[in-house]
Amino acid sequence: MLDIRLFREHPEMVKAGFQKMGTDPGLVDRVRHLDERIRTLKLEAETRKATLNAESKAMGRSLSPEERETRRAALRALGDEISTLDAQRAELEKELQDILWIVPNLPDERVPVGQGEESNVVVRSFGEPRTFEFAPRPHWEVGERLGILDIERGIKISGSRFYVLRGAGAALQRALITFMLDLHITQHGYTEVYPPFLVKEQCLWGTGQLPKFADNQYHDAEEDYWLVPTAEVPVTNLHRDEILDATQLPLHYVAYTPCFRREKMSAGRDVRGIKRGHQFDKVELVKLCTPETSDAELETLTHNAEAVCRALELPYRVVLVCTGEKGDFNAIQYDIEVYAPASKGEEGGEWLEVSSCSNFRDFQARRANIRYRPAPGAKPEFVHTLNGSGLALPRVMIAILENYQNPDGSVTIPSVLRPYMHNQTVITA
């Protein structure tokens, strides 16, 4: 959520930001008009309330009974007037709030402006896509041949976009999760968090999934629980409605959770293999910090996520995502993409997004009401929030199965994972 004061004081700046994000700049004028009307109505009501309160108080003292009766009628009329004004205001406030909930964040100046992928900027890369002396197989073939990935049975028991890992496949994923957690905890100084996977609706408003992306969320109507679409939701909301002490910041959290997404928007896309499922695992990095440090925190967060790719020796690149492709609510977003040489089957390889590292500045903090006190006694300010995957499991699995495959169909286990897999070095059928 943007500060309403930005609309009042810097409308042109907000319009320019909306323009870049493909949002109707006319909304700015609409917001300003609503805001002004609301303020006027509020002032009018408050003036009347002041009178009503004073008169009511006087009534408690003066005891002349018949005068009471006449005054009562007058005050009742005044009360009705106030109710009318308040009702009008409530209606406009709702309209205003509905707009503020969905309006995008203002993009950082560094974010390239553009519609699609071609406007993204590769800021750095690591490793070279491997050259194969044989035709690399896509991961679903590699996995099925080794008996570690069972897509057919996933579909049987749960439907499309579900799969089963077995044996070394399940072990490999578990090893990755533990390895990533250990790396971020011991090397990068994050605190491990194990949050609930079911949350209240309010949490999804706090981080921005609601109301705009309600379509993508799983929801248990009976108990009114929502399945987390990412650990970002429960972990960022840990400090909802809190005022943190400046000395507590920055907070660096790492959490492993499954993620649940309905993927209605991408119906029919990426249905092959395990690239996009309704349920997937993820290790997520979340930071809360002061405004002064959030830019630097994004850089380290991104590097921390990249460190996983480096350790696994997977070729990757870091992309500064353009206005048209980035999330609406962050100010700036880096994607980390690993190369999967056979992920598109006959068509060859592709860069797979394994992490989006974003700085939301105070946008989520304002929604979730997460503040901090810059100094003892000072007024609370909103914190800045950041997050990024470190990393998403299925796509890392894809990259490993495809990059580490051998001509005989076996898959070499990346050396950093071997201690987590009883020193196994290769997965064979």
Binder of RNA out of 6, 75, 92, 102 (CB under 7 A): 75
- Told to check if 72 binds RNA by CB under 7 A, we report yes
How many angstroms separate the CA atoms of 70 and 40, rounded?
A: 30
Catalytic residue, chosen from 242, 353, 373, 410, is 353
- Told to check if 202 binds RNA by CB under 7 A, we report no
Shortest distance in whole angstroms from residue 45 CB to RNA:
7
Shortest distance in whole angstroms from residue 28 CB to RNA:
18
3-class secondary structure, 351: strand
How many angstroms separate the CA atoms of 174 and 165, rounded?
A: 10
Binder of RNA out of 6, 16, 27, 59 (CB under 7 A): 59
Binder of RNA out of 55, 95, 108, 201 (CB under 7 A): 55
- Told to check if 214 binds RNA by CB under 7 A, we report no
What are the CA-CA distances from residue 284 to residues 184, 337, 357, 370 (Å)? 10, 16, 10, 19
Give how far the C-alpha of residue 334 lies from the chain's centroid of Cα atoms, to the nearest Å.
13
Binder of RNA out of 22, 33, 50, 123 (CB under 7 A): 50
Window of 10-18, 49-57, 233-241, 246-254 that interacts with RNA by CB under 7 A: 49-57
Verify whether residue 261 is a known catalytic residue: yes
Dihedral sign of CA atoms 257, 258, 262, 265 in order = positive
What are the CA-CA distances from residue 134 to residues 129, 316, 338 (Å)? 14, 22, 21
- Told to check if 47 binds RNA by CB under 7 A, we report yes
Window of 72-80, 118-126, 149-157, 314-322 that interacts with RNA by CB under 7 A: 72-80
Shortest distance in whole angstroms from residue 366 CB to RNA:
12
CA atoms within 13 A on the CB side of 57: 6
Size of the site for RNA (CB under 7 A): 23
Window of 68-76, 112-120, 150-158, 330-338 that interacts with RNA by CB under 7 A: 68-76
Window of 70-78, 120-128, 386-394, 407-415 that interacts with RNA by CB under 7 A: 70-78
Binder of RNA out of 53, 191, 266, 425 (CB under 7 A): 53
- Residue closer to RNA by CB (options 46, 245) is 46
Shortest distance in whole angstroms from residue 21 CB to RNA:
26
- Residue closer to RNA by CB (options 49, 145) is 49
Structure tokens at 256: 């492993």
How many angstroms separate the CA atoms of 55 and 62, rounded?
A: 10
* DSSP structure class, residue 186: I
SS (H, E, C) 207-255: HCCCCCCHHHCCEECCCCEEECCCCHHHHHHHHCCEEEEHHHCCEEEEE
- Residue closer to RNA by CB (options 291, 380) is 380
- Told to check if 46 binds RNA by CB under 7 A, we report yes
Verify whether residue 269 is a known catalytic residue: no
Structure tokens at 176: 């990755």
Window of 36-44, 190-198, 324-332, 359-367 that interacts with RNA by CB under 7 A: 36-44
- Told to check if 245 binds RNA by CB under 7 A, we report no
Structure tokens at 84: 């009318």
Q: Kindly identify the residues of this chain, within the stretch 403-422, that bind RNA according to CB under 7 A.
A: none
- Told to check if 49 binds RNA by CB under 7 A, we report yes
Verify whether residue 158 is a known catalytic residue: no
Verify whether residue 395 is a known catalytic residue: yes
How many angstroms separate the CA atoms of 362 and 189, rounded?
A: 23
- Closest by CA to 404, choosing from 127, 122, 124, is 127
Verify whether residue 356 is a known catalytic residue: yes
Task: Output the CA torsion 279→337→186→358 (10° steps).
Answer: -80
Task: Provide CB contacts within 8 A for 204, sequence distance 6+.
Answer: 210, 217, 226, 233
How many angstroms separate the CA atoms of 65 and 68, rounded?
A: 5
- Told to check if 380 binds RNA by CB under 7 A, we report yes
- Residue closer to RNA by CB (options 82, 322) is 82
Binding stretches for RNA (CB under 7 A) = 39, 42-43, 46-47, 49-50, 52-57, 59-61, 72, 75-76, 79, 90, 379-380
Kindly list the catalytic residues: 261, 276, 353, 356, 395
